[in-house]
Structure 1
Amino acid sequence: MTQDTLSEAEYDAITDAAAHWCMRVHAADCTAEEQRAFQQWHDTHPLHAFEYQAMLEIWDVAGDLPRPEPASVKPVAKSSRPWRQFAIAAGVCALALPLAAYSGWNLGWLPDSYQHFAATDEIRQVTLSDGSQLELNLNTDLTFSNYKDERRVTLKQGEAFFTVSHDVSHPFVVRAGEGEIRVTGTRFNVWMYQDQVRVNLVEGSVLVTSNRSLPGDGLRLGPSMQARYQQGDYMPQINQTYASDTSLTWRDGKLVLGNLALSEALPLINRYLNKPLELADTRTGAIRVGGIYNIKALNNLPDSLPKVLPVYLTRNKQGNPVINSMPQQPPKS
């Protein structure tokens, strides 16, 4: 069997098998024998691996769905399958038919379109299915799902600049870390590193919340304002930005550090590095660094730091570089 000669029935069989294995390998009672059988199926044909990866992305979307109350949902058809299997089965249909025909779309549980985008070593421009324009910074990974009641981007890592297509009745939501940014149409930037998130608004307005599980709509940003939050924050921190702000210079391929303490600069630097820099102590973190750097060449920065700062590098057990401050010279008597 080759991919060029697959019949429609054969292709559908592979899709069904991918959905089956996606459910089984995620099940708590999946046995070692099933794991071996799955791996054998997965490696038999490249299309098996391709379809399974597509199913994993659908699984990620299904994982965010609410579990419906049995009394409040009228089933589409009589079925004894558990809820999770129903969600995956609806996802399988999404590979061939619009989900608008299924109750998952009508109830707002499943999207009618799903897109995955990643940028590695080049800034990338993409267009979402709703017409919104995105610029993706290096090492950025995100997904877009179009639901009945909202358009949703999940920023898994990195940074993106959004020019959102205006639609008051269909809000645009960006999930980043534990919080989210909600808009109807505007231009803004979202940066994320580990559990830290920073939102810069250029045009329009956005609502920013640091924890989407908490009640309330969050805090509203106007143009030239910035919000920051990290895991555990009850509310985001809001501040004004000025013409000298360099947060968006990445769009020109630059990282500008304006005399920042190393403790502040490292999150901005580390998201571009193969091996993140670490600080030996708080004294080292207080050393200030500045300059303009090419974001494509930042992996060369660690080795150059001892040439411009009073520091030296060591390695930790994981092999990551550690910045150490030079010992202070004792005062002359």
Structure 2
Amino acid sequence: MSETRLTHTQVDAITEAAAQWCMRLHEPDCTEQEREAFAVWLKADPLHALEYEAMLDIWDVSEHLPRPAKVIALPGRQPHSTWRRLGIAAAITLLALPLAAYSGWQLGWVPNAYERLEASSSMKTVTLPDGSQVELNLGTQLTFSNYKDQRRVNLSKGEAFFKVRHDASHPFVVQAAEGRIRVTGTQFNVWRYEDQVRVTLLEGSVLVTGNQNLSGDGLRLEPGMQARYKAGDYTPQISQTYADTPDLAWRNGKLVLDNLTLADALPLINRYLDTPLVLADNATGKLRIGGVFNTHDINQLVTSLPKVLPVYLSLNQDGKPIINGRPGN
């Protein structure tokens, strides 16, 4: 039985559909019905899934294409949405045509190497195309793009430890939330949960800014220093740390809570949970917790909370677990 071959027109139609789905699913007003229709389309043919995965890569690349000084919004669209649509169209063209791709590389618009990395149920160590190494904690997602003028990582969630190959003329930049970490060669850890980011430096030096839209390279960290910021911060908060800091215990599969308040501990705990815990009130958040826990079994920590603290667990209307302080405490 002969293999059925798709025509160029059919392949182009699938590519166009994948691009349309990619853009639509990233729109804030995408409906549940549309998402269900996308799921049906995705399962209809294995090629659909392959094309959509490729389109996600192009979507990430389009994020970094140079933005024009002025973008005229389409009717009913915000300027940022319009730019992303123009950007993805430009990225498809640049990556699809060899000559255009070469020109895009020379201009610093398009990477010559791109990888999407994810660690879900187990930690992962990967050597990047530039020779740098990255260790991914559980639940981590990031992308790596090698541009002519810089190496770029986008940490969308989770935590990663980087051993960056030194290259002074080709800086290594990590984007996390609204901030940026810039290095040439060093060892450092980046933790991100929602809009919170923590950078811990072991060797070398890094420049950290909490808002990459601001001018300047940011604050310089030396070994034994840590920077924290969240979306909207003007500058990071800098503090001293030490060699055996609990922030790096995850590399050994451990979560160390060093007499932290529940308010400070929850972001560290929630990154390992499918359904995050929520505090009932500020008073409950001031309770303190300590101990060493297995990152592969954080649910055991959750069930043990009422045994070690004056709290009890309940569910809110959305089915999320709530930590409540016991009356009288």
TM-score range, shorter chain: 0.7 to 0.9
**8 Å contact from structure 1 (residues 16, 92) kept in 2:** no
Q: 1:271 and 1:37 mapped to 2: Cα distance? A: 30
Pair 14,121 (structure 1): closer, same or farther in 2 beyond 3 Å: farther
Question: Residue by residue, what CA displacement relative to the aligned partner does 1:250-270 show, whole Å, maximum 9, x if unpaired?
Answer: 000000111111111111111
Could you tell me which residue of structure 2 aligns to residue 16 of structure 1? 12
| 1:218 matches 2:218 | yes
Question: Residue by residue, what CA displacement relative to the aligned partner does 1:208-230 show, whole Å, maximum 9, x if unpaired?
Answer: 00000111100000001000000
Q: 1:208 and 1:83 mapped to 2: Cα distance? A: 27
Q: 2:117 and 2:234 mapped to 1: Cα distance? A: 30
Question: Residue by residue, what CA displacement relative to the aligned partner does 1:266-323 show, whole Å, maximum 9, x if unpaired?
Answer: 1111100111111111111111000000000002221110011111111111111111
Question: Residue by residue, what CA displacement relative to the aligned partner does 1:153-176 show, whole Å, maximum 9, x if unpaired?
Answer: 000100000000111110000000
Pair 83,193 (structure 1): closer, same or farther in 2 beyond 3 Å: closer
| 1:168 matches 2:168 | yes
Could you tell me which residue of structure 2 aligns to residue 314 of structure 1? 314
Q: 2:167 and 2:7 mapped to 1: Cα distance? A: 37
SS in 2 for 1:152: strand
Question: Residue by residue, what CA displacement relative to the aligned partner does 1:86-133 show, whole Å, maximum 9, x if unpaired?
Answer: 32122234xxx5x78522111111111110110011110011110110
Q: Where do residues 254-273 of structure 1 align in structure 2 (5 Å cutoff)?
A: 254-273=254-273
Which has the larger Rg?
A: 1
- Aligned-partner residue type, residue 109 of structure 1: W
| 1:54 matches 2:54 | yes
Could you tell me which residue of structure 2 aligns to residue 73 of structure 1? none
Structure 2, unmatched stretches of 5+, are 71-85
- Aligned-partner residue type, residue 217 of structure 2: D
Structure 1, unmatched stretches of 5+, are 71-81
**8 Å contact from structure 2 (residues 62, 87) kept in 1:** no
**8 Å contact from structure 1 (residues 21, 38) kept in 2:** no
**8 Å contact from structure 1 (residues 158, 191) kept in 2:** yes
Q: 1:325 and 1:302 mapped to 2: Cα distance? A: 14
- Aligned-partner residue type, residue 89 of structure 1: T
Question: Residue by residue, what CA displacement relative to the aligned partner does 1:192-214 show, whole Å, maximum 9, x if unpaired?
Answer: 00100000000000000000011
Question: Residue by residue, what CA displacement relative to the aligned partner does 1:32-84 show, whole Å, maximum 9, x if unpaired?
Answer: xx9999887654420222122211221221133123579xxxxxxxxxxx665
Q: 2:158 and 2:7 mapped to 1: Cα distance? A: 35
Q: 1:276 and 1:83 mapped to 2: Cα distance? A: 34
Q: Where do residues 143-162 of structure 1 align in structure 2 (5 Å cutoff)?
A: 143-162=143-162
Report the count of equivalent residues.
307
Could you tell me which residue of structure 2 aligns to residue 90 of structure 1? 94
**8 Å contact from structure 1 (residues 14, 48) kept in 2:** no
Could you tell me which residue of structure 2 aligns to residue 324 of structure 1? 324
Q: 1:142 and 1:89 mapped to 2: Cα distance? A: 24
Q: 2:7 and 2:151 mapped to 1: Cα distance? A: 30
Q: 2:246 and 2:198 mapped to 1: Cα distance? A: 13
Percent identical residues: 58
**8 Å contact from structure 2 (residues 18, 48) kept in 1:** no
**8 Å contact from structure 2 (residues 93, 100) kept in 1:** no
Shift of 1:143: 0.4
Could you tell me which residue of structure 1 aligns to residue 81 of structure 2? none
Q: 1:83 and 1:259 mapped to 2: Cα distance? A: 47
**8 Å contact from structure 1 (residues 315, 321) kept in 2:** yes
Could you tell me which residue of structure 1 aligns to residue 301 of structure 2? 301
**8 Å contact from structure 1 (residues 15, 92) kept in 2:** no
SS in 1 for 2:327: coil
Q: 1:111 and 1:265 mapped to 2: Cα distance? A: 38
- Aligned-partner residue type, residue 20 of structure 1: E
